[in-house]
Chain A
Amino acid sequence: MSEVSNKSSPAPRLLVSPAWFFLGIFFVLPLVIMLVISFGMRGTYGGLKPIVDWWGYLSSGDFLANYRQSLDALYLPIYWRSIWMAVATTVLCLLISYPIAYYIAIVAPTRWKNLLLALVVVPFWTSFLIRTYAWMLILRTEGLANTLLMQAGLIQQPLDLLYNEFAVMIGLVYGELPFMILPLYASLEKLDLTLLEASGDLGANHASTFWRVTVPLTMPGIVAGIVLVFIPSIGQFVVSDLLGGAKSMLVGNLIQNQFSIARNKPFGSAIAFELTAVVLVLLLAYAWWSKKKGQEAML
């Protein structure tokens, strides 16, 4: 063909189109399918029940039945546990990570920095599932922790370390730690150390300098770390499945069960969608905060 117009097809739009295509097929479309399913009803054999009277179904509000069911008192303890465990994981990760990130970024000799950072990332080389299994070996009754404690004579009877909320907490904190350390490191690395000297020069001791200068200036890293840790923690189901018992079920497990054991896809989709909405609200709040601070969001 001789008449090909270049003007009507701007190159930039063409170049990003694969990205949009990818996001549309693998992200938006599944989400839409899930939303549609969440309004449906469970069929006898686990599929969707065909709807005969569309008008009656919509006007009676039956399509919201799954969302109503999700607010049943039966499930509230699970949501509550998910929230407090995610909050606790985030807080613990922050408390553990800040000193580590501070040490790597500021205290450690330059030639060690890359090695220390590599050590933070090294666990990613092994599958998360396998690392969680490793914790089972450590925490079980005749596991490493109990053996060592008993040999040291600190305890007479093995402790129940596995299959409880304690074990889940350990697994969550362990798994999410790098996601807190890395953004904290990134913002501490950029910190101008003369500002800490200036603070000391103006009469602030180390603690005062930390709260008035270091923390405010590394707030982007702190918030990014919180977002990065809280979101996966609240949807986590592998850790609680492997390390937790019946009493440490999280919302992630609830959703997973609907799709596997209970075979109630519509109900599972509804809870999953609610969780997605909560996460979305948190992300929007973060974006709003970043914009207000005039800072480039780290995510």
Chain B
Amino acid sequence: MSESISVEIREVSKRFGDFVAVDSVSLEIKKGEFFSLLGPSGCGKTTLLRMIGGFELPTAGAIRIGEKDVTHLPPYKRPVNMVFQSYALFPHLAVLDNVAFGLRYKKLSSADAVKKARESLALVRLEGFEDRLPAQLSGGQRQRVALARALAMEPEVLLLDEPLGALDQKLRKEVQLELKNLQRSLGLTFVFVTHDQEEALTMSDRIAVMNQGRVEQLDASHHVFEYPKTEFVAQFMGAPNFFTGVVKSLAEGLLSIGARTESEIRVRARSNSWRPDDAVRFVVRPEKLDLRTKSGTSDGEVSIEVTIEDRVYQGVNTVWVVRSDEGERYTIYEQNDRPFQESSRFRVGGRAFMSWNPRDTVVMEKKENGQLVG
């Protein structure tokens, strides 16, 4: 195994009775990266994290941390630490004792343990709270204590199970940036579980999007956002604009797609397995779509005539919901960079043209017998 791999998950499955929580997942987490497991509840992300921590044992497969096979080791023998969703602070111990709890097993003198615990509390800016009980802290402070307690152990990998879920939105945004900075400055490997795509994008180097126990896509975070490979990922990343078309030709890496648009769409193909007449699905992100009064064919733009169904003013954006003549529904984000009155060019119930630059077309991976190829 390469020096730069921190966690290696090899064909790991977990079944609870008949339910398959994690279905033969393989992935590698690099040393020092902020890695997120993203997906809806029940997708298996927390189970996978708990298997890395040792709280669940895999039904099949192997897990390595650093050079060591930890598949069947109990949590207390693994070089990882966890920040629990509920924080799991010991209610009978003061903050300092909570943070120093695990240091006793590190063969540190008690003076060194206290010193280490204080350093760790300083890292999360909680000096002066040493003697408080967890019940006397706010949610944000408890979250910091949980973080300090895990960091004090100097783990090779820090596991975080939706640790920001209980915080209000404003605080959560602050803590996201703090966590990211902390991770960067410590150079520590973070494995972060969340169901919030924005949170994952804000913090992660790479994201594994999970669905029904499988990893649907594993890529750099901006890549997952810009180039979802499957409809599930596209939907989850907030791009529910699906189109159906037919492959006309594939030449020199350019895929030519015929759809119910005024012209063929030419996009860079990410696979050369496409054949003429293959059915193809593609998406365009809402912010890449434009609403026009006229069919805009300049610069090879693609456009479709649609009916406007709804308009939602959101401050920064206006969201348009439109319907194509085939009955497909699309979402368009229009940035409100013009005076408010001007967006009244369009009215609900009226007709308009939805256009986009062909380079913003994201083709879903080809499916063969239900399996993704390429």
Known A192-B86, A194-B84, A194-B86; judge A201-B53 contact (CB<8 A).
yes
Cβ of B313 < 8 Å from any Cβ of A?
no
Stretch at the interface among A69-77, A202-210, A242-250, A280-288: A202-210
Known A217-B91, A217-B92; judge A203-B86 contact (CB<8 A).
no
Q: How far is the CA of A272 from the CA of B353 in the complex (A)?
A: 97
Please state if A216 and B86 are interface contacts (CB–CB under 8 Å). no
**Which residue of chain B has its CB nearest to the CB of A205?**
B76
Instruction: Please give, as numbers and ranges, the residues of chain B lying within 8 Å of A201 by CB-CB distance.
Output: 53-55, 75-76, 80-82, 102, 150
Cβ of B106 < 8 Å from any Cβ of A?
yes
Cβ of A34 < 8 Å from any Cβ of B?
no
A22 CB to closest chain B CB, in angstroms?
38
* B contact face: mostly helix, strand, loop, or mixed: mixed
B176 CB to closest chain A CB, in angstroms?
23
Q: How far is the CA of A194 from the CA of B102 in the complex (A)?
A: 15
Cβ of A24 < 8 Å from any Cβ of B?
no
Cβ of A238 < 8 Å from any Cβ of B?
no
B interface residues, how many (CB within 8 angstroms) = 24
Please state if A199 and B84 are interface contacts (CB–CB under 8 Å). no
- B88, B89, B104, B106: the one within 8 Å of A197 (CB): B88
Please state if A192 and B75 are interface contacts (CB–CB under 8 Å). no
Q: How far is the CA of A194 from the CA of B106 in the complex (A)?
A: 22
* Binary CB contact string for chain B from 52 to 89 against chain A (1 if under 8 A, 0 otherwise): 01110000000000000000001110001110101011
Instruction: List residues of chain A with CB under 8 Å of any chain B CB.
Output: 192, 194-195, 197-205, 208, 212-213, 216-217
Q: How far is the CA of A54 from the CA of B299 in the complex (A)?
A: 122
Most chain A CB within a 10 A radius of its CB, from B55, B80, B82, B88 = B88
A40 CB to closest chain B CB, in angstroms?
51
Instruction: Please give, as numbers and ranges, the residues of chain A lying within 8 Å of B86 by CB-CB distance.
Output: 192, 194
Cβ of B101 < 8 Å from any Cβ of A?
yes
Please state if A202 and B153 are interface contacts (CB–CB under 8 Å). yes
Please state if A216 and B92 are interface contacts (CB–CB under 8 Å). yes
Instruction: Please give, as numbers and ranges, the residues of chain B lying within 8 Å of A212 by CB-CB distance.
Output: 101
Please state if A202 and B92 are interface contacts (CB–CB under 8 Å). no
Instruction: Please give, as numbers and ranges, the residues of chain B lying within 8 Å of A203 by CB-CB distance.
Output: 76, 102, 104-106, 153
Most chain B CB within a 10 A radius of its CB, from A195, A200, A216 = A200
Please state if A200 and B75 are interface contacts (CB–CB under 8 Å). yes
- B74, B88, B150: the one within 8 Å of A194 (CB): B88
Q: How far is the CA of A217 from the CA of B89 in the complex (A)?
A: 12
Instruction: Please give, as numbers and ranges, the residues of chain B lying within 8 Å of A208 by CB-CB distance.
Output: 105
Please state if A198 and B84 are interface contacts (CB–CB under 8 Å). yes
A30 CB to closest chain B CB, in angstroms?
41
Please state if B82 and A198 are interface contacts (CB–CB under 8 Å). yes
Q: How far is the CA of A201 from the CA of B89 in the complex (A)?
A: 12
Q: How far is the CA of A212 from the CA of B90 in the complex (A)?
A: 10
A62 CB to closest chain B CB, in angstroms?
53
**Which residue of chain B has its CB nearest to the CB of A219?**
B92
Q: How far is the CA of A197 from the CA of B146 in the complex (A)?
A: 13
Known A192-B88, A194-B86; judge A202-B102 contact (CB<8 A).
yes
* Binary CB contact string for chain B from 273 to 291 against chain A (1 if under 8 A, 0 otherwise): 0000000000000000000
Please state if B74 and A198 are interface contacts (CB–CB under 8 Å). no
List 23 contacting pairs A-B, 8 Å CB cutoff, sorted by A. Answer: A194-B84, A197-B55, A198-B84, A198-B88, A198-B89, A200-B54, A200-B55, A201-B80, A201-B82, A202-B76, A202-B81, A202-B101, A202-B105, A202-B149, A203-B76, A203-B153, A204-B76, A204-B102, A205-B76, A208-B105, A212-B101, A217-B91, A217-B92
B79 CB to closest chain A CB, in angstroms?
10
Q: How far is the CA of A203 from the CA of B155 in the complex (A)?
A: 11
B264 CB to closest chain A CB, in angstroms?
56
* Binary CB contact string for chain B from 146 to 157 against chain A (1 if under 8 A, 0 otherwise): 000110010000
Instruction: Please give, as numbers and ranges, the residues of chain B lying within 8 Å of A192 by CB-CB distance.
Output: 86, 88
Instruction: Please give, as numbers and ranges, the residues of chain A lying within 8 Å of B102 by CB-CB distance.
Output: 201-204
**Which residue of chain B has its CB nearest to the CB of A200?**
B75
Q: How far is the CA of A94 from the CA of B55 in the complex (A)?
A: 30
* Binary CB contact string for chain B from 123 to 158 against chain A (1 if under 8 A, 0 otherwise): 000000000000000000000000001100100000
Please state if A213 and B76 are interface contacts (CB–CB under 8 Å). no
B82 CB to closest chain A CB, in angstroms?
5
Instruction: Please give, as numbers and ranges, the residues of chain B lying within 8 Å of A197 by CB-CB distance.
Output: 55, 75, 82, 84, 88
Instruction: Please give, as numbers and ranges, the residues of chain A lying within 8 Å of B54 by CB-CB distance.
Output: 200-201
Please state if B105 and A195 are interface contacts (CB–CB under 8 Å). no
**Which residue of chain B has its CB nearest to the CB of A216?**
B92
Please state if A195 and B90 are interface contacts (CB–CB under 8 Å). yes
* Binary CB contact string for chain B from 282 to 326 against chain A (1 if under 8 A, 0 otherwise): 000000000000000000000000000000000000000000000
Known A197-B55, A198-B82; judge A204-B105 contact (CB<8 A).
yes
